[in-house]
């Protein structure tokens, strides 16, 4: 397994964490700082539409291409090395055509499946 980053001075090679991910849409926690968590997940196909009522959610694409579908505005399309934020209260649905590894930086209280 790989080390989980904490408030100690340390580093993590993202590729080590990517290597152990096999299940799509099952994020693993790879780091913590302040009251935030960094989660890494394999995205495959399309997730479900959901909303986070109280928290913003940041997505950083490690490799691949991610489309974050939004109901009330233009979709966010992210390529490797690009980052986007979905504001709290925004209904969204992540989707990708090929396997894509994504880092999510979010409050530790955020439920990945959404509040509704």
- What pLDDT, in 10s, does the model give residues 18-54? 999 999 999 999 999 889 999 999 999 999 999 999 9
pLDDT band at 114 (very low <50, low <70, confident <90, very high): low
Domain count, the chain: 1
Reported pTM: 0.88
**Residue of 25, 106, 14 whose CA lies nearest to 62:** 14
Average pLDDT value for residue range 96-100: 98
Please tell me the distance from the alpha carbon of residue 106 to that of residue 92, in angstroms, as a whole number: 15
pLDDT of residue 7: 67
Q: Does the CA dihedral 8-3-40-107 come out positive or negative?
A: negative
The answer to whether position 68 is within a domain reads yes
| Long-range CB contacts for residues 13-16, cutoff 8 Å, separation at least 24 | 14/40, 14/62, 14/101, 14/103
In a domain, 115, yes or no: no
- 91 is a domain residue: yes
70: Cβ contacts below 8 Å, ≥ 6 apart:
76, 86, 90, 91, 92
Expressed as residue numbers, the domain containing 31 is: 16-107
Q: CATH number, domain at 35? A: 2.60.120.10
**Does a structural domain hold residue 44?**
yes
Is there a domain that residue 30 lies in? yes
Name the average pLDDT for the chain. Answer: 91
């Amino acid at each position: 397994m790989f080390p989980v980053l904490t408030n100690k001075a340390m580093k993590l090679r993202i590729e080590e964490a990517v290597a152990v991910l096999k299940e799509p849409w099952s994020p693993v926690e790879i780091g913590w700082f302040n009251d935030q968590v960094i989660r890494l997940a394999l995205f495959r196909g399309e997730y479900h539409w959901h909303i986070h009522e109280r928290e913003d959610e940041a997505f950083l694409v490690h490799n691949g291409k991610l489309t974050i579908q939004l109901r009330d505005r233009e979709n966010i399309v992210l390529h490797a090395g690009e980052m986007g934020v979905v504001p709290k209260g925004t209904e969204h649905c992540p989707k990708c055509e090929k396997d894509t590894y994504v880092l999510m930086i979010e409050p530790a209280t955020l439920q990945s499946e959404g509040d509704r």
